[in-house]
Amino acid sequence: MEKSLLYPELNEFRYDRKLDGLWDFKFDPKQEGNAQNWTTGLSDAVKMPVPASFNDFFTKKEEREYAGDFWYSTKFFVPKELEDKQVGIRFGAATHRATVYVNGTEIRSHEGGFLPFTADITSVAKFGTENIVAIKINNELHRDALPAGDTITLENGSKMVKPFFDFYNYSGLNRSVHLVAQPKTSVIDYSTTFDVSASHATVNYQVEIEGTADVAVKLIDEDGNEVANAQGAAGKLEVDNPKLWNVRDAHLYTIKIQLLQNGNAIDEYTDEIGLRKIEIKGHQILVNGKEVYLRGFGRHEDSIYAGRAFDLNVERKDVELMEWTGANSFRTSHYPYDEEAYRFADREGFMVIDEVPAVGFKMAAASFLGGLDASFFDGDWTDELQKKHLDQIHDMILRDKNHPSVFAWSLFNEPDTSTDSAVPYFEKVFEDTKDLDPQHRSRTFTLNEDDTFEASKCKQFPDIFLLNRYPGWYHKWGFEISDGEAGLRREMDQWQNSDIDKPMIYTEYGADTQPGLHKLPSIMWSEEYQTEVLEMFGRVFDSYDFIRGEQVWNFADFQTVEGNMRVNGNKKGIFTRDRQPKAAAFFLKNRWENID
């Protein structure tokens, strides 16, 4: 559980410098790194770009598929000016667990491959000279860890991961590494809530400080004008005629938090926030009192060469393509994304469902990928898993709570909710997380195909229903699709006739499609068939008023484990892995541009 996850910032009081570039890299299959002092640097290392997943750079299969410990190391310079500050190295993501050493001293460990953490190096840093950081990472999968899976040992001694989920276990330093410094008395966190009307907005803020200082807060509009200010660690900023953050029509304000001692500024932190009111009223999702219907995608952080590495170029292209289709939303399936993705979404006015990496909590999903058949929540690993799960929900909310784009927290993807053993686990997760977000956004999770209206024991928990459904693909496929539609309508009728008065968003539906495969009449895997599946779902969505959004699976083709269900990855992309449109992209664009 982190205390502070503010995004790094460079200003008069704070320091931020990326340590990205080519680092030394070495596998440690015999776990000899510590004994051989790899903590002070790696000999016989290969060069590895940061940020990147190591996997796809290699040509040897045992290297690409490597599971176990591996190390990165680099030298870095710490300027003398930082001597009186709190100095740290902030890792955006180390997948999945890591221990950091600086100048040979162990600093800290962290588990959770999709969230940042900072190693405080104040006491070991050498100022005005070169330092060395080494990080030992482990990418194994286990049932008591997020995302869930197994790690097996083959007869030849190689370890291998068996994910219970459908995305490749891309590993390494997947996001930027920053050398950061801030004053010893400094802002470590802040949060905001809003009271909003057309003519006035109140921003209620709260600032957390390390140490003691006076606090002054300013709100600045996009033209650089100060529109409100207040004093104190908690207070209100009053804004007349605010420019509200609206869906696909974003306006941002800069919040500037200043710490003072004896009237002198000693720290400053600025961030961009959006003033908006999100409400869930019956079946409706309202933003600033206006009904919103979500159109968009489940996505992955996935691209060629660097795997799961965050790449601003890829993100820029994805945003362009999402906007071209007329999308207004996406889900960060199946893990929290790089902070830059949310900053971009804030700016562009996307509605984001932010998902924790609680994926693979279902044995049937594992069995689909070649495995097992039992209820996940009957296992003896759930206590340990739940601790990590709660920890990562905490950190995701701490990190992302000030983004106007984030409108809901997805606390699981497709857990097995069909047995009573799931209920106590869900009760605790929902109870323990209810006050983490000062804005009290909706908390939810996606319901798998098997977790129908009748079967799911956990329908009482989410504030919004997220449904993943695959008629037309995993069942009732091809010429049987008309029965698939009939079955889907029967299920939707049950939801409609129930007294559950909440919105429903389809967060997955789709069909694997080989780009360039055309067939008349259609056949599964052809571009024509993908469009027919989406047309079928569109007809169903348009028939039920409680369905308040559609996020197709998936934005782009992405890499998965190899297996007899996948041809070089999951091909349900509306775009190819290199971001070119399949025929379905034009269908969706036409549909979404005509939905209000």
The catalytic residue positions are: 414, 508
Q: Quick check: bond before 96 cis, omega within 30?
A: yes
CA atoms of 496 and 453, how far apart (whole Å): 10
Examine residue 166 and tell whether it contacts ligand CKU (CB under 6 A): yes
Q: Which of residues 339-378 bind ligand CKU (CB under 6 A)?
A: 365, 368
Binding mask 233-262 for ligand CKU (x = CB under 6 A): ------------------------------
Plot region of 324 (φ>0 → left; ψ -120 to 50 → alpha; else → beta): alpha
For ligand CKU, give the closer residue by CB, 25 or 165: 165
Residues in a beta bridge with 261:
264
For ligand CKU, give the closer residue by CB, 339 or 451: 451
Q: How far is the CB of 263 from ligand CKU (least distance, A)?
A: 55
For ligand CKU, give the closer residue by CB, 247 or 366: 366
Nearest to 213 by CA among 399, 13, 3: 13
The residue type at 222: E
Q: How far is the CB of 472 from ligand CKU (least distance, A)?
A: 12
CB nearest ligand CKU: which residue?
A: 166
* Three-class DSSP category at 529: helix
Q: How many residues bind ligand CKU (CB under 6 A)?
A: 11
Q: Which of residues 407-466 bind ligand CKU (CB under 6 A)?
A: 414
Contact assessment for residue 294 and residue 505, using Cβ atoms and an 8 Å cutoff: yes
Q: How far is the CB of 8 from ligand CKU (least distance, A)?
A: 31
CA atoms of 167 and 58, how far apart (whole Å): 19
For ligand CKU, give the closer residue by CB, 314 or 511: 511
Beta carbons within 8 Å of 342's beta carbon, 6+ residues apart? 352, 354, 400, 403, 405, 406
CA atoms of 571 and 591, how far apart (whole Å): 21
Residues in a beta bridge with 549:
294, 505
DSSP 476: S
Binding mask 377-416 for ligand CKU (x = CB under 6 A): -------------------------------------x--
Q: How many C-beta atoms surround the C-beta of residue 466 within 10 A?
A: 27
Q: How far is the CB of 364 from ligand CKU (least distance, A)?
A: 8
CA atoms of 27 and 4, how far apart (whole Å): 31
For ligand CKU, give the closer residue by CB, 166 or 400: 166
Q: How far is the CB of 322 from ligand CKU (least distance, A)?
A: 19
Q: How far is the CB of 77 from ligand CKU (least distance, A)?
A: 42
Q: Which of residues 537-556 bind ligand CKU (CB under 6 A)?
A: 553
For ligand CKU, give the closer residue by CB, 28 or 508: 508
Binding ligand CKU by CB under 6 A: which of 96, 162, 175, 572? 572
For ligand CKU, give the closer residue by CB, 166 or 311: 166
Binding ligand CKU by CB under 6 A: which of 99, 456, 507, 570? 570
The residue type at 6: L
Binding ligand CKU by CB under 6 A: which of 508, 532, 550, 557? 508
CA–CA–CA angle 293, 295, 296 (5° rounding): 150
Q: How far is the CB of 392 from ligand CKU (least distance, A)?
A: 18
- For residues 174, 73, 81, 211, the Cα torsion angle rounded to the nearest 10 degrees is 60
For ligand CKU, give the closer residue by CB, 145 or 467: 467
Residues in a beta bridge with 415:
none
CA atoms of 458 and 430, how far apart (whole Å): 11
Distances (CA, A) of 168 to 53, 363, 568: 11, 18, 11
Binding mask 465-484 for ligand CKU (x = CB under 6 A): ---x----------------
Q: How far is the CB of 285 from ligand CKU (least distance, A)?
A: 23
CA–CA–CA angle 399, 436, 416 (5° rounding): 90
**Would you tell me which residues interact with ligand CKU (CB under 6 A)?**
165-166, 334, 365, 368, 414, 468, 508, 553, 570, 572
